[in-house]
Amino acid sequence: MRQLYIGGSWTASASDDPIEVVNPATEEIIDRVPAGSPDDVEAAVAAAGKAFPAWSRTAPGERGKLLAQAADLLKQRADEIAKTIATDMGAPLGFALKVQTLMPAAVLASYADLAESHPRESRVGNSLVVKEPIGVVAAITPWNYPLHQIVCKVAPALAAGCTVVLKPSEVAPLAAYALAEIFDEVGLPPGVFNLVSGRGPVVGEAMAAHPGVDMVSFTGSTAAGRRVAALAAETVKRVALELGGKSANIILPDADLPLAVKVGVANCFVNAGQTCSAWSRMIVQRDQYDEAVHLAVEAARGYRVGDPFDGSTKIGPLVSATQRDRVIRYVNRGQEEGARLVAGGTERPHERGYYVEPTVFAAVEPGMTIEQEEIFGPVLSLIPYTNEDKAVEIANDTKYGLAGAVWAGTEEHAVAVARRLRTGQVSINGGRFNPLAPFGGYKQSGVGRELGEHGMEEYLEVKSLQL
């Protein structure tokens, strides 16, 4: 069984309870990590608290140099880490390398630069306004992007001058161990970064409630986010939440319909649909609806489900049996409520592994369960609309507001509609994801922003010095 990383050393957990890490493609146990305890959290928070005064006073440029070295090492180990993610999380190897590993390396490098360049002082009349690191940060991360989501929290926190206690997902924790090894190798001072693996109700809750933690940054389900926020409220600590989504892809009548459907299907199915910002609702003008359904079905048929290490695989397994069963329940619920299954379904595509066929539903009406709730699997719903106002109404009519897309004949038209959407990020005619732009949600999709300068601000306090 692996160890925890606390105070600059690998150390045994106070708990003897192991968590088995399972390869979702083969259903075989591939590793074991400690199911950490509240005592482990206590030790990690103490180490982070002890390290904070010196780290917060370290010159920003010096902090940036260490992060730059870590980014370089991450790139050097990218092939190895991508294989780890393909094995414990199930992402196809090419995606695991390009998106799950190299993108976090780029984000880490961006914060190496921002550590020094981000402004920390300004004048307001007779006041000097300064920004200071908030303190000890508890970072609680999910399994679907097991390295990227860690870097999105740890990199800005360290760049700002905070110290960190990380709890990675117990489902796919191995990339977090690789990052801890990298931080150790570059010589990050003891206690600046700490890793405690374990289960959310034990380790995660102990971190969120701990009085020595100044901020909690959490990514996961909306239900779990509510629990984290409630625990953190007891000590009135800052909370950043990146939660669920049910993002809408609005295709307006003057858009390039084949392109919009093709890109929309790809976005919905990426990472086997296990993406909080996936465009899982395709909203199409009624006169074009049947054509859009046909195009979506044809596109779905091109997505090969299989071994993450097979170069022809586009969709790997879901991360666990629990997740696969959850998705199957939603597919059944969609049919029960009257939606029409036009691609995929509940048949198991392989004898072993937690696989689900890419699935497309037509005849989906606003208010259906599959139209309202986050499924977190390769399931696309197509919803017709009659006019532009109705399209916007349907898009906004969920409790979520994380991402979305608008396709139109002109950028001006698409932007005008996008401005009406109550969501944190909108792709315009297929505009690419930008890892330097702020990412986060409206409504029950979360509080706060990650990435770029906005992500850095989450970890800074503001102080006024009256001169």
How far is Cα 122 from Cα 408, in angstroms, rounded to an integer? 41
How far is Cα 211 from Cα 214, in angstroms, rounded to an integer? 7
Query: Which structure tokens are listed for 438?
Result: 């702020």
Half-sphere CA count of 144, side-chain side, radius 13 A: 19
Instruction: Give me the DSSP letters along 248-300.
Output: EEEE-TTS-HHHHHHHHHHHHHGGGG--TT---EEEEEGGGHHHHHHHHHHHH
Work out the number of other CB atoms within 10 angstroms of the CB of residue 125.
Answer: 7
Helix segments in 118-243, DSSP class H: 148-160, 174-186, 205-209, 222-233
Bridge partner residues of 32 (DSSP): 20
In sequence order, the 6+-apart residues with CB closer than 8 A to the CB of 390 are none
Backbone φ and ψ for 31, nearest 5 degrees, come out as: -165, 170
Instruction: Tell me the helices (H) and strands (E) count for the chain, helix number first.
Output: 16, 20
242 is catalytic: yes
Is residue 21 within 8 A of residue 1, CB to CB? The reply is no
**Scanning the structure block, which residue is given the tokens 């901020």?**
215
Bridge partner residues of 21 (DSSP): 31
Q: CA dihedral defined by 168, 434, 116, 207, rounded to 10 degrees?
A: -20
Backbone φ and ψ for 350, nearest 5 degrees, come out as: -140, 150
Is residue 351 within 8 A of residue 329, CB to CB? The reply is no
Which run of H or of E encompasses 97? helix 93-97
User: 242, 371, 374, 450: which is the annotated catalytic residue?
Assistant: 242
Which run of H or of E encompasses 130? strand 127-133
Is residue 33 within 8 A of residue 2, CB to CB? The reply is yes
Backbone φ and ψ for 293, nearest 5 degrees, come out as: -60, -45
> Between the CA of residue 374 and those of 210, 368, 400, what are the distances in Å?
30, 12, 9
> Between the CA of residue 105 and those of 81, 157, 165, 167, 466, what are the distances in Å?
11, 16, 20, 20, 40
What residues act catalytically?
242
